């Protein structure tokens, strides 16, 4: 696998070096501005683009549709970045897109120096394949497209200029994705200096330590920021179970902001539970107990031991990697939610999440309907939430909508 660093830098002009011709009748999604051209839709390529080069997309009879970046190693052959023939994919365009992304977060009030927010959300910010998270004075970048990897120098220089962080770190892409794109990117420092230890960021008045070099994702689950706050509003006086707690975001919000009676936070990773413990202490939450255990076993053990809670939070990792595994994922969601409901007192609150993009919101809600039926206890949906507004979703690429967070009351 070539490292993107070994590839020549893309031509600065941003002009196409080749034209990708679609098969007949395959152009419709792109007239709808969908940004992903799969290999199966491509009839032929006129020219010989290198991976990451600028190409035009044309109908089978040669009419311009869009302009994007080529990757022969990916099933996602072309990622589209403009549908206007006069727009070139040069540094000025990337800069304008980054400026627009930064301006959105500023307008959302998510630009406090000691705060954290997603600055760039891939297709949601018209920058397919690029994710940038800001944690205080540092940025963590993830690239999921080879074409973005080839442009990392200019992208990080622009980010330095626009946001002036102390350092920008590259976090290696998800291993599965990396394989799909033919990308091999070890973690490294792109600009400035790396933090010496954890970074401390503020979220809705609480403080969380984030490990930028070792943590999951880019170090923290920013997408759940507002959901942690929403859950906390129901926690008052309740005994709370935070299952799959990672660094304790929900647990701490419920204990401190929500004034829960007590919280039991559980995660399978001891690194995660160490972070959760530290974050509970940092926020003076003495009533948070943290335990390292497998969620499936722990849920069964709590139920069999006759334990009851006033609130159960379930925020598991992605159960479905693709549509093919969505059914299996739904069975796993059913299983944990069924036990979650069994653990709740009458009138208890279930906060249940799914970050599997291939499990639709409707399918997730129907699964919960099945749980209510099997448990013989009506479930009332109080809030059906998603990721926060710093995770925008493009109306032309609904694949970007992945997070479900349902708050429900159990009879």
Q: Which residues are catalytic?
A: 355
Tell me if residue 126 falls in helix, strand or coil. Answer: coil
Helix (H), strand (E) at residue 334: helix 326-342
Q: Which two tokens stand for residue 398?
A: 């609904």
Task: Give the pairing type, strands 64-70 and 76-82.
Answer: antiparallel
Residues 6+ apart with CB under 8 A from 365: 381, 384, 406
Nearest residue (CB) to ligand SAH, 159 versus 312: 312
How is residue 171 annotated by DSSP? P
Determine whether 237 is exposed, middle or buried from the number of CB atoms within 10 Å of its CB (0-12, 13-18, 19+): exposed
Report in angstroms how near the CB of residue 312 gets to ligand SAH at its nearest. Answer: 13
291 binds ligand SAH (CB under 6 A): no
Nearest residue (CB) to ligand SAH, 52 versus 219: 219
**Rounded alpha-carbon distances, angstroms, from residue 80 to 69, 70, 126, 127, 155:** 7, 9, 9, 9, 17
Helix (H), strand (E) at residue 120: strand 116-121
Report in angstroms how near the CB of residue 402 gets to ligand SAH at its nearest. Answer: 13
Report in angstroms how near the CB of residue 169 gets to ligand SAH at its nearest. Answer: 19
Nearest residue (CB) to ligand SAH, 77 versus 298: 298
Q: Of the listed pieces 122-130, 143-151, 277-285, 313-321, which binds ligand SAH according to CB under 6 A? A: 313-321
269 binds ligand SAH (CB under 6 A): yes
340 binds ligand SAH (CB under 6 A): no
Residues of span 230-259 touching ligand SAH by CB under 6 A: 244-247, 249-250
Q: Which two tokens stand for residue 205?
A: 């008045």
CB atoms within 10 A of CB 284: 10
Contact 244, 314 (CB under 8 A): yes
Q: Which two tokens stand for residue 262?
A: 């007590």
229 binds ligand SAH (CB under 6 A): no
221 binds ligand SAH (CB under 6 A): yes
Nearest residue (CB) to ligand SAH, 149 versus 245: 245
DSSP H stretches of helix in 26-77: 28-31
The size of the interface with ligand SAH (CB under 6 A), counted in residues, is 19
Which among 203, 228, 219 is positioned nearest to 138, based on CA atoms? 219
309 binds ligand SAH (CB under 6 A): no
Residues of span 160-219 touching ligand SAH by CB under 6 A: 216
Q: Which two tokens stand for residue 355?
A: 């970050």
Report in angstroms how near the CB of residue 31 gets to ligand SAH at its nearest. Answer: 38
Quick one: which of 268, 370, 386, 389 contacts ligand SAH (CB under 6 A)?
A: 268
Q: Of the listed pieces 28-36, 93-101, 146-154, 314-322, which binds ligand SAH according to CB under 6 A? A: 314-322
Residues of span 31-90 touching ligand SAH by CB under 6 A: none
How is residue 98 annotated by DSSP? H
Binding site for ligand SAH (CB under 6 A): 216, 221, 224, 244-247, 249-250, 267-269, 272, 294-296, 315-317
């Amino acid at each position: 696998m070539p490292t993107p660093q070994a590839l020549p830098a893309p031509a600065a002009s941003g002009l196409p070096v080749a034209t990708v011709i679609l098969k007949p009748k395959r152009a419709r999604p792109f007239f709808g501005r969908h940004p992903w051209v799969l290999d199966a839709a491509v009839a032929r390529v006129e020219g010989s683009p290198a991976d990451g080069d600028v190409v035009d997309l044309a109908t089978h009879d040669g009419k311009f549709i869009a302009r994007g970046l080529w990757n022969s190693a990916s099933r996602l052959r072309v990622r589209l970045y403009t549908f206007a023939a006069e727009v070139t994919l040069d540094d000025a365009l990337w800069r304008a897109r980054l400026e627009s992304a930064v301006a959105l977060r500023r307008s959302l009030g998510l630009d406090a120096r000691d705060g954290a927010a997603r600055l760039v959300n891939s297709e949601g910010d018209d920058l397919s394949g690029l994710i940038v998270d800001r944690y205080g004075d540092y940025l963590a970048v993830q690239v999921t497209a080879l074409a973005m990897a080839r442009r990392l120098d200019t992208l990080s220089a622009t980010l330095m200029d626009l946001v002036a962080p102390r350092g920008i770190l590259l976090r290696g892409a998800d291993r599965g994705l990396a394989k799909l794109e033919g990308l091999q990117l070890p973690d490294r420092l792109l600009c400035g200096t790396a933090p010496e230890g954890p970074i401390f960021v503020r979220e809705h008045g609480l403080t969380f330590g984030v490990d930028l070099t070792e943590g999951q994702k880019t170090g923290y689950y920013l997408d759940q920021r507002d959901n942690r706050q929403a859950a906390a509003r129901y926690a008052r006086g309740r005994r709370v179970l935070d299952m799959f707690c990672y660094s304790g975001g929900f647990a701490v919000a419920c204990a401190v902001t929500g004034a829960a009676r007590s919280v039991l936070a559980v995660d399978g990773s001891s690194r995660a539970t160490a972070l959760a413990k530290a974050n509970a202490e940092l926020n003076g939450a003495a009533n948070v107990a943290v335990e390292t255990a497998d969620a499936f076993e722990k849920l069964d053990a709590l139920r069999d031991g006759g334990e009851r809670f006033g609130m159960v939070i379930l925020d598991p990792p992605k159960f479905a990697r693709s549509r093919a595994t969505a059914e299996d994922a739904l069975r796993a969601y059913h299983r944990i939610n069924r036990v979650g409901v069994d653990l709740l007192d009458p009138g208890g609150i279930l906060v249940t999440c799914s970050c599997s993009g291939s499990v639709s919101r409707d399918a997730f809600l129907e699964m919960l309907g099945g749980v209510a039926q099997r448990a013989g206890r009506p479930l009332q949906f109080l809030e059906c939430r998603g990721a926060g507004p710093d995770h925008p979703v493009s109306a032309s690429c609904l694949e970007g909508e992945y997070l479900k967070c349902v708050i429900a009351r159990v009879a």
